[in-house]
Chains A and B, each alone.
Chain A
Amino acid sequence: MASLGKVLRRPQLRFGVGVLVPVAAWYILFSFRPVLQGLRMAVIDYDLLNPSASQFVGLEHFRTILTGYELFWVASRNTLAFAAMLNAGMIPLALLLAHCLANVRRGRTFYQWALFVPVVVSMAAMALLWRFLMHPTGILNSVLVAVGLGPSGWLTSPKTALPALAMIELWKALGGNVVILTAGLLAIPVEFYDAARVDGAGPWQTFWRVTLPLLGHTLKLVGVLVLIGSLQTYTSAVILTGGGPARATYMISQFVVSEALVNFRFGLAAAAASLLFVVIFGATLAQLRLVRARWEY
């Protein structure tokens, strides 16, 4: 094997270099450099016309957004509240549906198709649809009135706009997480269930004592994906509400884009983006640690 490797080294070297050099060049130009530049912009006073003359200002931008920059706090609060609502709704619902999907004998392909359709359609198109459904005189309010509840303000009231947005994102993203969790459930060896039944465990006990711990690895992944995605929400908020009403759905991503590319306050945008990066990184690590699978199989 070793001598074979030696003989064949040269053509492999040419092919390997031919592949990796362009890929590495792309990564440097369109990934690494923008990341470093993004972090650097947080500590300099970026000069748009003469970037090399930008002055180093240390942590001043961070101080500005963290003390008395109200819009940043509004955006942070909204983003965190949105992420909390989406996670709280998504994980149990996805788990319930995955559990049902893993158990049905027939129709799994159809259900999976139906649940996954919202995932593949463009959020831009779906945002319009939901604005129509949630219109004050729209179909959702007709249903609410018909069952005896009053009409809701949905996206038009500052109180309900953020939960309504979370509901739409839940509808959009649920199917993907259900599919991942279903695959995780089906990968659990059937012997565990046989053993549980022999020991006389009921369905509820089986779920809590067998399924949930053995699903730990997959559940962890889904939790991280949902968290990362929800902290970066942009498209739905921008198209559905533009951040309104009364900034009730103004998110960090929108803050970054509008501060930098509309108001040209690059430093503040970069500082906010860096903080988001730190939060996402920290939350990911924390979640990976907290929800560590207790058993492997």
Chain B
Amino acid sequence: MIEVGRQCRRRSGVLGQAAAHAVLAVAAFCALFPLVWMALGSFKTYHDMLLPRLLPGTWTLDNYREIVTRIGFGTAFRNSAFVAAPSTLAVLATSAAAGYVFAKYRFWGKEVLFAVLLSTMMVPFTVVVVPLFITMADLGLVNDLRGVIVTGLCSTFGIFLMRQTIETVPNEYIDAARIDGAGEAWIFVRVVVPMVKAALATLAVFTFLGSWDNYMWPSIMLKTADNQTLPVVIAGIQQLYVVRYHLWSAGSMLTVVPVMALFTLAQRHFVRGLALAGLKG
């Protein structure tokens, strides 16, 4: 396992440490400042917002009230959750099950099949988007949240990640369960899945955020306001209200806060997932 955060590369001197901290502090400031500005801006009145001042002159919740009642943010929030939750669960199930089969079963053509699956990662979404839209139109799923869910049921990265992880599960556990007469489904759910929980958690946060933040496909698929997800609605506000930045920042806050909370709670899963992808890729 990669222990990011444990060791220190070189015994650099006080000066080196200070320089590294200075560079990182500037970078962290640049990364966070726009978000702090947005968070404070969401409590400002319109006129306050246009002044070059960090803190609100008068704190107000009107922006949130207006965005929830007038723009229908509750519906968008529900739609986003309705897409992200089943997509995430489906990706976990399909990735773990297919990963298990690819990691532990021997069958004719396995590596070829796996290579064919992996090759889909190289095709840009731009190539697929138009035919996929026509497929959805044929299935009657345009402007339907199910049309967004169904295209997110499997993840090639997920299958790859779970195969890599399940390969590290010792065969002895699986064979012992088989000798005890356990069925394959039971072994998968009771033996394999508990041993790869950490990787599943990593995959879950990545998939959930990918779905929650996705704009391109939902914006093409979802045409009416009652069906749109948060990013599509947020982008739409811009066309509705040309200069009402205070409303935008409140809307953006409602979109971003759940994601930041999830990320803060699950940070180590992100770091590990990316680190694994980097070292294995």
Contacts and interface: CB of A to CB of B under 8 A. Distances in A.
Interface in B1-52: 2-5, 7-10, 12, 16-17, 19-21, 23-24, 27-28, 30-32, 34-35, 37-38, 41, 50, 52
A16 B279 contact: no
B196 to A, nearest CB: 15
B271 interface: yes
A34 B131 contact: yes
B213 to A, nearest CB: 4
Determine the interface band of chain B, counting residues with CB < 8 A from chain A. 35 or more
Nearest to A120: B263
A128 interface: yes
A253 B252 contact: no
A171 B124 contact: no
Tell me whether chain A's interface is mostly helix, strand or loop, or mixed: helix
B184 interface: yes
Interface string B227-269: 0001110110110000001001101100110011011100100
A124 B220 CA distance: 14
A222 B27 contact: no
A97 B135 contact: no
Interface in A98-128: 99-105, 107-118, 120-128
A5 B106 contact: yes
B89 interface: no
B213 A117 contact: no
A232 interface: yes
Interface of B: 2-5, 7-10, 12, 16-17, 19-21, 23-24, 27-28, 30-32, 34-35, 37-38, 41, 50, 52, 94, 97-98, 100-101, 105-107, 113, 117, 120, 122-135, 150-151, 153-154, 159, 175, 178, 183-185, 188, 209, 212-213, 215-216, 219-220, 230-232, 234-235, 237-238, 245, 248-249, 251-252, 255-256, 259-260, 262-264, 267, 270-271, 274-275, 277-279, 281
Interface of A: 4-5, 8, 11-12, 14-16, 19-20, 22-23, 26-27, 29-35, 37-39, 41, 96-97, 99-105, 107-118, 120-133, 135, 137, 139, 142, 171, 174-176, 179-188, 190, 193, 203, 206, 218, 221-222, 228, 231-232, 234-235, 238-239, 252-253, 256-257, 260-261, 266, 269-270, 273-274, 276-277, 280-281, 284
